């Protein structure tokens, strides 16, 4: 069961999401809160698997709440940022805060449910329509590669191949097809990449890959 916490200052939005999610046999809404401060407190108390986090909220905005939630090294909670605004700054801020995904509120319900399931197991990146544009713009704002600080040195050659393809936005199935491996084998390699590098999820792999020069703007698939 995937335990979800909803954080949005609009009651109708929270109720709509709760209705959609509670119909799913594998998803349970454990709390519904109206601002970032409540999201932080409820996450610490309830330890949900996924927080569906609005950006613009009173008291504490969703980006700051995300940063504080994920600043706890012991947390297993993942944050999916949801907003009505297709705004690059929000996405940059969400990535910097450690969010595992970013979706617009007009995403179809099927996409929302799939995103929550994906985030819960570390299989997400960003909304498909904005992924590559935003990652590349984000990468251009980063400092140059720092080989001395590279986390990739601990990886085997095959794990390095997998890390590069993750950074291109590929799913496990796509990586398996590209490398002629089974999806189960790719899943194992992905787990090793995350464990060995100490990165939280695929989003952090993407950002770190750009930071260290493992991949460059323009390398992402079209």
> 16 in the Ramachandran plot: left (φ > 0), alpha (ψ -120 to 50) or beta?
alpha
Structural domains in the chain, sorted by start = 2-129 (3.40.50.2300), 144-212 (1.10.10.10)
d(CA 90, CA 4) in angstroms, rounded, equals: 22
**Residue among 141, 211, 127 at smallest CA distance from 169:** 127
**Residue 191 tokens, joined:** 């787990």
d(CA 46, CA 5) in angstroms, rounded, equals: 9
| CA end-to-end distance (rounded Å), the chain | 35
Residues of the chain with pLDDT under 50: 145, 147-148, 220-222
Place of tokens 């992905």: 190
| Strands (DSSP E) found in 56-179 | 78-83, 101-104
What is the share, in percent, of the chain residues with pLDDT greater than 90?
41
Q: What is the DSSP string of 42-61?
A: HHHHH--SEEEEESS-SSS-
Side-by-side strand order, sheet with 78-83:
27-33, 2-7, 50-54, 78-83, 101-104
- Within a 13 Å sphere around the CA of 171, how many CA atoms are in the beta-carbon half? 11
Classify 66 as helix, strand or coil: helix
- In terms of pTM, does the model score above 0.75? no
d(CA 43, CA 14) in angstroms, rounded, equals: 16
- Widest distance between CA atoms in the chain: 50
Backbone φ and ψ for 169, nearest 5 degrees, come out as 85, 15
pLDDT score of 203: 75
**Residue 33 tokens, joined:** 């809160």
pLDDT score of 189: 94
d(CA 5, CA 220) in angstroms, rounded, equals: 32
**Residue 154 tokens, joined:** 């601990």
């Amino acid at each position: 069961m995937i335990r979800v916490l909803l954080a949005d200052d609009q009651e109708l939005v929270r109720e709509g999401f709760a209705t959609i999610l509670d119909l799913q046999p594998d998803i349970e809404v454990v709390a519904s809160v109206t601002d970032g401060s409540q999201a932080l407190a409820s996450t610490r108390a309830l330890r949900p698997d996924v927080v569906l986090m609005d950006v613009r909220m009173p008291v504490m905005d969703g980006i700051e709440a995300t940063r504080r939630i994920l600043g706890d090294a012991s947390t297993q909670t993942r944050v999916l940022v949801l907003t009505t605004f297709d705004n690059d700054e929000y996405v940059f801020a969400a990535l910097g805060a450690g969010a595992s995904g970013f979706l617009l509120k007009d995403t179809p319900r099927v996409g929302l449910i799939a995103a929550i399931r994906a985030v819960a197991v570390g299989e997400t990146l960003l909304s498909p329509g904005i992924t590559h544009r935003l990652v590349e713009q984000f990468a251009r704002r980063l400092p140059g590669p720092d080989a001395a600080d590279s986390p990739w040195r601990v990886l085997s050659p095959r794990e390095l191949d997998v890390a590069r393809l993750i950074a291109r936005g590929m799913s496990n199935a796509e990586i398996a097809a590209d490398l002629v491996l089974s999806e189960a084998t790719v899943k194992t390699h992905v787990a090793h990449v995350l464990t060995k590098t100490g990165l939280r999820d695929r989003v952090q792999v993407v950002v770190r890959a750009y930071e260290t020069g493992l991949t460059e703007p323009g390398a992402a698939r079209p």
